[in-house]
Amino acid sequence: MGKIDADVIIVGAGPAGLVVGNLLRAAGIDCLILERRSREHIENRARAGFLAANSVRVLDGNGLAGGLLENGVRHDTCAFRDERGEFELKYGELGDCEVHTVYPQQFLVTDLIAEFLARGGEIRFGAEVSSVSGTEATVIADDLLLRARYIAGCDGRHGASRRSVPARVFRRDHAISWLAILAEAPPSMSAVGYALHERGFAGHMARTPTVTRYYLEVPRGEDPETWPDERVWDELHLRMRADRHGALERGPVVERRIVDLGSHVMDTIQRGKLFLVGDAASLISPSAAKGANLALMEAEILAKALIAAHEEDDTTALDRYSAECLPRIWRAQEFSHWMIDFLHAPAGYDDEALFQRALRDARLESLRVSRAHQDFFAESYVGI
pLDDT digits (tens, 9 = 90+) for 271-312: 999 999 999 999 998 888 899 999 999 999 999 999 999 999
Q: Give pLDDT tens digits for 163-220.
A: 999 999 999 999 999 999 999 999 999 889 999 998 999 999 988 899 999 999 999 9
Indicate the pairing of strand 50-51 with strand 73-75.
Answer: unpaired
- pLDDT at residue 60 in the model: 97
pTM of the complete model beyond 0.85: yes
Residue 147 has pLDDT above 70, yes or no: yes
Position with higher pLDDT, 353 vs 60: 60
Please report, for residues 140, 143, 163, 167, the alpha-carbon distance to residue 130 in angstroms, rounded to integers and kept in the order given: 6, 8, 10, 19
Mean of the per-residue pLDDT values of the chain:
94
Which residues are registered as beta bridge partners of 122? 32
Indicate the pairing of strand 85-89 with strand 78-82.
Answer: antiparallel
Task: Quote the DSSP letter at residue 360.
Answer: H
Q: Hey, CA dihedral for 326, 91, 239, 86, is it positive or negative?
A: positive
- Give the Cα separation of 281 and 160 in Å (integer): 12
Residue 313 has pLDDT above 70, yes or no: yes
% of the chain with per-residue pLDDT over 70: 99
Burial annotation 263-285 (CB, 10 A radius, 16+ → b, else e): bbbbebbbbebbbbbbbbbbbbb
Alpha helices, DSSP H only, in 150-228?
160-163
- Give the Cα separation of 102 and 229 in Å (integer): 25
Looking at residues 59-63, what average pLDDT do you find?
96
Q: Are 151 and 21 in contact (CB under 8 A)?
A: no
Q: Which of 271, 273, 294 is CA-nearest to residue 282?
A: 294
Residue 1 has pLDDT above 50, yes or no: no
Task: Quote the DSSP letter at residue 36.
Answer: S
- Give the Cα separation of 48 and 205 in Å (integer): 9
Backbone torsions φ then ψ of 321, nearest 5 degrees: -55, -50
Q: Give pLDDT tens digits for 201-211.
A: 999 998 889 99
Contacts 24+ apart (CB under 8 A), 114-120: 115/22, 115/63, 115/64, 116/18, 116/21, 116/22, 116/25, 116/33, 119/22, 119/25, 119/26, 120/25
Burial of 382 (0-12, 13-18, 19+ CB in 10 A): buried
pLDDT confidence tier of residue 346, bands split at 50, 70 and 90? confident
- Give the Cα separation of 93 and 272 in Å (integer): 45
Domains of the chain, with CATH numbers? Answer: 6-75+101-171+262-337 (3.50.50.60)
Distance of CA 290 to the CA centre of its chain: 5
Which residues are registered as beta bridge partners of 211? 208
Residue 2 has pLDDT above 80, yes or no: no
- pLDDT at residue 97 in the model: 76
Burial annotation 91-113 (CB, 10 A radius, 16+ → b, else e): bbebeebbbbbbbbbbbbbbbbb
Q: Show which residues are catalytic.
A: 75, 194, 286, 290, 381
- Give the Cα separation of 288 and 270 in Å (integer): 26
- pLDDT at residue 328 in the model: 95
Which residues are registered as beta bridge partners of 180? 215, 257
Q: Are 214 and 259 in contact (CB under 8 A)?
A: no
- pLDDT at residue 49 in the model: 83
